[in-house]
Structure 1
C-alpha cells in the first residue's frame, strides 16, 4: 500500500495534546480533571506475587485537549441545522449531533502561526485574530475544503499557570467571529487553537460572548478543537502535515478528550 510505503520511508509525529493532570487549567464552565489511584501495587497481591494498580478519573468532556461536537453550542434555542436544542437533550444525552457522530479525522492540516506573523512569541491577552491575520499567516499557501486549520497564539507558554492560561481577569487571544466566518468559507472540516476557548476572551467577561463558536458550530457545522499544544510544530517551521484525530465514542456527549497528531515526512 502507498500509505504504508510512506510510513516506511520515514515520518515524524508531533503530539499536539496537553497533559491531563490534577491542577491543570480548566474552564470554570466545565467540571475539572481529577485523578486518583484507587488500587496500588501491594494493596492486594495475588498468591503468586502478582499485583495490579488502577485509577479513578473524572473530567468533563471539554477539559484538556478536546473536540467540540455540534451539540455543544446553540443560538436562540437552535443547534446546527435548526434542531431544537432543548428537545435534543431530553433523556440525559443528546439525541443528535453528539460527539459519537464525529468521524475520525485523517486529513491535511495547516498551521496558521499568528505570533510569527506579528514578530512575537505570544499574542497579547484579549487580542482578536482577524481574517487578515489568517490570510497573511497562510503566506501564499492554500487552505482547502476538508482541511483542518490550527491557529497558534503562543498561549501554551502560560499553561503551567492555570489562572494566567484561563485568563479571566486579563483576557485571552482568540478568533473573532469574522475570522471564524473566514475559516468556514474555506470549507474546513475542523478548526483548532491552543487556548481554552478558541474565541477571543475579553478581560473580565469570561465566556459570555462566543461568536466564533456560534459561527462554526451552529451556523456552519464545523468542529472546534481546543487546548492544543502547537509550540513544537511552530518552532520546527512545520506549516502543512497529515492531521490525525479520533474522538472517544461517547453517545450523545457534547465533547471528547482527544490526542491529536501531526505527521510529517522526514
Structure 2
C-alpha cells in the first residue's frame, strides 16, 4: 500500500503500451469478456455450496451529498399527489433517472466510456463512434447477455489489519499478491476480480466526503497483475482510481489502462460489507458472480446490482 510513487506521463504511456500488448482483451472488440469461456462458467457454478445470494450493490442515492452533486431522481408519478382513492383500481407508478457515472451509485463502465488520445479501446476513432444518440460501438450492449463467471474478492484492508484504506492510498500489485496468499487462492484467467478498499465502510461510518479529490484505489502499476493473470472484469467499492491521481497529467489512469488499453469492463462503487464477513467466516473468497447490466442501447454504462452466489 502506497500513498505516493507518482508516475511521470512518459512512464504512464510506457505502461499503457505494455499492457495493451499483453492484456488478453487488448486487441479484441469485446475486450476481456471473451476470456470467460463456457467451461469457466460451468466451473464457477460449482463454486456454489449454500445457494446464498449476496448483493454487491449499494442502495441508490437520491440525496445531494459532498460526493454526489447530481444524485439519482426518483419520484412517484401516480396516484396523483401520492393519495390513492378509496375505491376502484389504481396503479402506483414512479420515474427514475440517474447519472450513471457518478461517485456514489454502483455502475458498470462500457468499453466506450474512456476516450484517450481521441480513440476508444482498440484504436477506434471516438469521433466516428460517438454521437448525440449514443455509442455506435463498444457500448454496454456487449454485455446484453450478462457477465457470469468466478468472482474473487481480495480484501486489502483486512490484509493490513484496518477497517479501510484512507483516501489517497494506492493498492499495489504486491498488495494483491499478498492478499491472494493470505486468503488462500489464486486469481486466474477469466476471473471477475473484486478489490475491497473499504470505501463504503468508511462512508457509512464517517459520512460522505469529496471523493473526487480524495479516495483510495489501485496504483496504475497494479494493472500489470491483472494483465498477467488474464482478468476478465475489475470491480471495486470505490472508483478503482486513486485521488489524487498516481499518474502525472492523467486524472483516471486505472480507467485508461483497464478500459482503453486492456478492454476490461469496470464496476465502480460496489459494496462488499455484506460479502466480506461471510467470506472471512467461511474461509473462502471465490464464488459464482452474476452481473446483469440494463439493456440500454448505445449506452456508455449502466446501473448494476451484481450478485455473489456462495
Q: Secondary structure at the match of 1:244?
A: strand
Contact 1:192-1:228 within 8 A present in 2 as well? yes
Unaligned runs of 5+ in 1: none
Contact 1:32-1:60 within 8 A present in 2 as well? yes
Q: Secondary structure at the match of 2:131?
A: coil
Q: Which residue number in structure 1 is paired with residue 265 of structure 2?
A: 223
Aligned mates of 1:82, 1:17 — CA distance in 2: 32
Q: 1:119 to 1:162 in 2, by over 3 A?
A: closer
Q: Which residue number in structure 2 is paired with residue 70 of structure 1?
A: 111
Moved more, 99-108 or 122-131: 99-108
Q: Which one of the candidate residues 186, 190, 196 is aligned to 1:142? A: 186
Aligned mates of 2:48, 2:216 — CA distance in 1: 40
State the shift of 1:258 in Å: 0.7
Q: How does 1:1-266 map to 2 (within 5 A)?
A: 10-23=50-63, 31-40=70-79, 43=83, 45=85, 49-63=88-102, 64-102=105-143, 103-139=145-181, 140-160=184-204, 163-164=208-209, 166-169=210-213, 171-195=214-238, 197-202=239-244, 209-236=251-278, 237=280, 238-264=284-310
Alpha-carbon displacement from aligned partner over 1:72-111 (angstroms, at most 9, x marks no partner): 0021011110000121102521100000112411110100
Indicate the structure with greater helix content. 2
Aligned mates of 1:9, 1:116 — CA distance in 2: 24
Alpha-carbon displacement from aligned partner over 1:143-201 (angstroms, at most 9, x marks no partner): 1111100000111023346642x4245x1000111112321221111000001x21011
Aligned mates of 1:168, 1:91 — CA distance in 2: 26
State the shift of 1:56 in Å: 1.4
Q: 1:86 to 1:147 in 2, by over 3 A?
A: same
Aligned mates of 1:51, 1:98 — CA distance in 2: 38
Contact 1:184-1:222 within 8 A present in 2 as well? no
Equivalenced residues, count: 255
Report the TM-score, using the length of structure 2 for normalisation: 0.74
Q: Secondary structure at the match of 2:235?
A: strand
Moved more, 132-141 or 67-76: 132-141
Contact 1:108-1:148 within 8 A present in 2 as well? yes
State the shift of 1:256 in Å: 0.3
Q: Secondary structure at the match of 2:112?
A: helix
